[in-house]
Chains A and B, each alone.
Chain A
């Protein structure tokens, strides 16, 4: 059993990183490779943001004041709710309540779709105001970060649909739910990125 476990984690990590010593890995190892890669990608965007802000402070102040803060706040609240619904879905699958788990997954999906709709409206609103990615250095960073995040919410929403389909087919239960948990931690990672993006683009002056 122990050998089987070492094989499943590819035996590439030091012993102190093993689940016996460091604790359980939520979901599975591949999703964490993905999550850490995404964090690196967004980390590069954030560093680019601070460098650009250092060289073009006036463009950033005027750019931030031009954005529709209400839409940013609404999207933040929606994503927080979606994370909450995802956490509740995990709570219910652990007690084998598949009906409630599915209900909360649909709620999380609804939040994802609502976020995408509001973001699309925001891009349209920006376009009406004449703001494009070439308007200023701030808007280049803004579109790069927010459109990238938009794509992540989009494909993670599709993943929720896939997980609902698998749940209905009996793939998850109280004992085996690593696929659902992998989606949950990925979804929370997307929420975490927005928690950083929102103040950087909409709130800080």
Chain B
């Protein structure tokens, strides 16, 4: 199978790198509030990437895309709120 490094491969590499970076942050740094906020932002980015480029909703139904993206704004926001209680 001939390997071609296109957009999908770039997004996959970014998603894996973010996952590993998040885990490293959580294991190494002692400021949970800051780390949790950073992780929440990266979760939103990961969600948006899968929704737009793997699920291909960027070129599809705008209402479905809105609902899916809203999900990845709502729950990461709760992560940020939970960092302060």
Contacts and interface: CB of A to CB of B under 8 A. Distances in A.
Interface string A169-205: 0000000000000001100110110011011101111
Contacts of B71: 39, 43, 192
A111 to B, nearest CB: 12
A62 B61 CA distance: 43
A203 B22 contact: yes
A23 B64 CA distance: 9
Contacts of A184: 55
Interface in B15-42: 15-16, 19-20, 22-23, 26-27, 32, 35-36, 39-40
Contacts, number: 112
Interface stretch (A78-86, A113-121, A135-143, A150-158): A78-86
A196 B44 CA distance: 9
Contacts of B75: 43, 46, 196
A196 B76 CA distance: 8
Contacts of A200: 79
Contacts of A80: 12, 15-16, 19
Interface of A: 17, 19, 22-26, 32, 36, 39, 43, 46-47, 50, 53-54, 57, 69, 73, 76-77, 80-81, 83-84, 86-88, 90-91, 100, 103, 184-185, 188-189, 191-192, 195-196, 198-200, 202-205
28 contacts: A17-B63, A19-B61, A22-B63, A23-B61, A24-B61, A25-B64, A26-B55, A26-B60, A26-B61, A36-B67, A50-B81, A53-B82, A54-B85, A73-B20, A80-B16, A83-B50, A84-B12, A87-B54, A90-B56, A188-B51, A188-B55, A192-B51, A195-B47, A195-B50, A199-B40, A203-B23, A203-B39, A204-B79
